[in-house]
Amino acid sequence: MAEPFIRIESLVKNYTRDTQVLNVLDKLSFTVDSGDFVALMGPSGSGKTTLLNLIAGIDRPTSGRIFVGPDEVSAMSEAALAKWRSANLGFIFQLYNLVPVLTAYENVELPLLLTSLSRARRRKQVELALTVVGLSDRMAHYPRQLSGGQEQRVAIARAIATDPKLLVADEPTGDLDAKNGEEILVLLERLHHEFKKTVLMVTHDPKAASRAHRLIHLDKGVLKEDVHAARRSGWRRRWRPRPTDMIPGVSRSPRAPHGAPGSGQRS
């Protein structure tokens, strides 16, 4: 069997406030296959953002290990991480996080400045990324001159500029109206489908989550695979059990694989 693309082993994250230790992630272990599209749901404060930040190497685990491809993110130095992140991972935020004083073009170019690409090559990549998100006519616009949906599309262009294999998105439609949110989901689906990106998306919206191939829930620091929600939402693609997933304290429904998507049945 192929190695999983993301491998999380006994991940613990504690925050200390005054004398209190807050255990946010409690020995989390799971894997994500290459090319998968995973939705991560869970109540507010359950540690979803923390988990994404740890995978992206923006934050450090208290203990446990995180691998993305052959790289152990949890063991890299800060300098190595910045470089690794720019080449291997695109991060999409709820509030876009564009730099207000830079144009759309310059925002998308940012991660490329950490590479050794020539200026001409960078231009090509930026133009390509902005074309993919449908904004090649907005390159000289500043974020304030764009709608929320357009800002998020620029942010997605920035996330794909270096052509990373992995996209992580933290509630990417959370600040958008239904129509713009839908456009962003269509775009993420396309990046997954056509451009073969592995996508890990945090969302509160069951409709958004139903786009994914796999749904996991995070609650009280523990992960659960949500097969039932997947079925409710008309899961229409492949589903298969993952023996490599070790989710403490949770056993899967033995009926799940039979009625599951990909097995030819529609529920």
Ligand X SMILES: Nc1ncnc2c1ncn2[C@@H]1O[C@H](COP(=O)(O)OP(=O)(O)O)[C@@H](O)[C@H]1O
DSSP helix/strand/coil, 73:
helix
Of all residues in the shown chain, the one whose CB is closest to Mg ion is 49
Q: Is residue 132 a contact residue for ligand X (CB under 6 A)?
A: no
Q: Which two tokens stand for residue 86?
A: 């720019």
Of the candidate residues 15, 121, 145, 228, the single one contacting ligand X (CB under 6 A): 15
Q: Is residue 94 a contact residue for ligand X (CB under 6 A)?
A: no
Least distance (Å) between residue 2 CB and ligand X: 30
Of the candidate residues 49, 88, 162, 203, the single one contacting Mg ion (CB under 5 A): 49
Least distance (Å) between residue 84 CB and ligand X: 22
Q: Is residue 90 a contact residue for ligand X (CB under 6 A)?
A: no
Extended beta strands in the chain, E state:
6-17, 20-32, 37-41, 63-68, 71-72, 89-92, 166-170, 198-202, 214-219, 222-225
- Residue 48 half-sphere exposure toward CB, CA atoms < 13 A: 25
Closer residue to ligand X (CB): 20 or 118: 20
Task: Sort strands 6-17 and 20-32 into parallel, antiparallel or unpaired.
Answer: antiparallel
Least distance (Å) between residue 18 CB and ligand X: 11
Q: Is residue 220 a contact residue for ligand X (CB under 6 A)?
A: no
Name which of Mg ion, ligand X, none residue 248 binds, using a CB cut-off of 5 to 8 Å depending on partner kind: none
Q: What angle do CA 19, 8, 50 make, to 5 degrees?
A: 45
Listed ranges 48-56, 69-77, 80-88, 257-265: which one lies at the site for ligand X (CB under 6 A): 48-56
Torsion of CA 139, 140, 143, 144, to 10 degrees: -140
Closer residue to ligand X (CB): 14 or 115: 14
Distance of alpha carbon 20 from alpha carbon 163, whole angstroms: 41
Q: What residues line the site for ligand X (CB under 6 A)?
A: 15, 17, 22, 24, 42, 44-50
Q: What residues line the site for Mg ion (CB under 5 A)?
A: 48-49
